[in-house]
Amino acid sequence: MTARPSSVGRAEESLRTTKRVLPLLLLALLLTTTSCSVVEGAFTAIKTTFWAAKTSYRVVKTTVKGTIWAVSGTYELTKGATKLVYRIGKFTFEVVRAPLEYPLIRDDIQTIDGLPVKEAIRLGRVKAAPYTVKGQRYVPMNMDSAQTYDETGLASWYGEETRHLPGGHMTANGELFNPSGLTAAHKYLPLPIHVQVTNLENGKSIIVRVNDRGPFPSDHNPDSGKRIIDLSRGAAEQLGFVEQGTARVHVEVIRLAEA
């Protein structure tokens, strides 16, 4: 006859089993909690790495257009200033404020910011202000939008006639026009701003200061308004297309930093 364990014996056996199993349960729980922490930490690290990668991409994306050019000297006329000289790379720029009585080199500009042109210039309301030419309204881009400007098209040059006229002429932002300087006119870029212009026909490249408006359609050549930039004679000479009059170019806004 087999003896059955007493209730006391069964209780003692259950207690011994619990003592053996409990540490294993605690260990399993600890490992599970630690694993979750590790996984969560790893996931956080992955998220952080991904964020950093995205940030790096954004930085690269904004600098993909190339070098930030160092400027030696101030490059905007401040209130009361009449002249400044500065350098960007190997290019030297001389800026002179024109007397208000000087005629505009673009005399077909009718209004700027809804005001008479000279009044808008006097009040400093030119940089990205809308303007009208022969009844057509043009709306320039703001400075932030202009930072990504990049265009390929036809360039021409202008202003030769001012060499043979008495006195000086004024650009659309109130600067003295110098046909021998490195300047340009553009319909939509804010004034002033600097662009790199590359002649795609010969590979020559320069930096110019955009300080005027144009080119616009002329009465004898309506297609002239399709050109993307008008350069001074000095700029056209350096790019090598004075004799032919026009050239296919690539125009790109450059970023500047004080040296």
How far is 230 from 167, CA to CA, in rounded Å?
22
Residue 12 in any domain: the answer is yes
Residue 59 in any domain: the answer is yes
Residue 2 in any domain: the answer is no
Contact (Cβ atoms closer than 8 angstroms) between residue 195 and residue 189 = yes
Mean of pLDDT values over 81-105: 95
Same domain, 128 and 37: no
Mean of pLDDT values over 150-162: 91
Same domain, 158 and 178: yes
Residue 1 in any domain: the answer is no
Same domain, 55 and 76: no
Residue 47 in any domain: the answer is yes
Same domain, 137 and 232: yes
Same domain, 36 and 58: yes
Mean of pLDDT values over 87-116: 96
Residue 104 in any domain: the answer is yes
Same domain, 104 and 28: no
pLDDT per residue as tens digits for the range 12-53: 555 455 455 455 544 444 444 444 343 334 333 333 332 322
The residue type of 134 is K
With tokens 């930030």, the residue in question is: 68
> Which pLDDT score, from 0 to 100, does residue 219 have?
82
Hey, which residues does 84 pair with through a beta bridge?
Answer: 95
> Which pLDDT score, from 0 to 100, does residue 174 have?
96
Same domain, 78 and 44: no
Q: Residue 169 burial by CB count (10 A; 0-12/13-18/19+): exposed, middle or buried?
A: buried
Residue 103 in any domain: the answer is yes
Mean of all residue pLDDT scores within the chain: 80
Residue 187 in any domain: the answer is yes
Question: What pTM does this model have?
Answer: 0.74
Count of domains observed in the chain: 2
CA atoms within 13 Å, Cβ hemisphere of 54? 6
> Domain limits at 31?
7-64
Mean of pLDDT values over 171-190: 97
Burial of 4-31, coded b for 16+ CB within 10 Å and e otherwise, reads: eeeeeeeeeeeeeeeeeeeeeeeeeeee
Phi first, then psi, for residue 163 (nearest 5°) are -65, -30
- Which range, of 21-25, 67-71, 124-128, 225-229, averages the lowest pLDDT? 21-25
Q: Residue 182 burial by CB count (10 A; 0-12/13-18/19+): exposed, middle or buried?
A: buried
Mean of pLDDT values over 107-131: 97
Domain stops at, among 64, 83, 110: 64
Same domain, 77 and 125: yes
Same domain, 59 and 186: no
Contact (Cβ atoms closer than 8 angstroms) between residue 102 and residue 96 = no
How far is 209 from 213, CA to CA, in rounded Å?
12
Same domain, 45 and 82: no
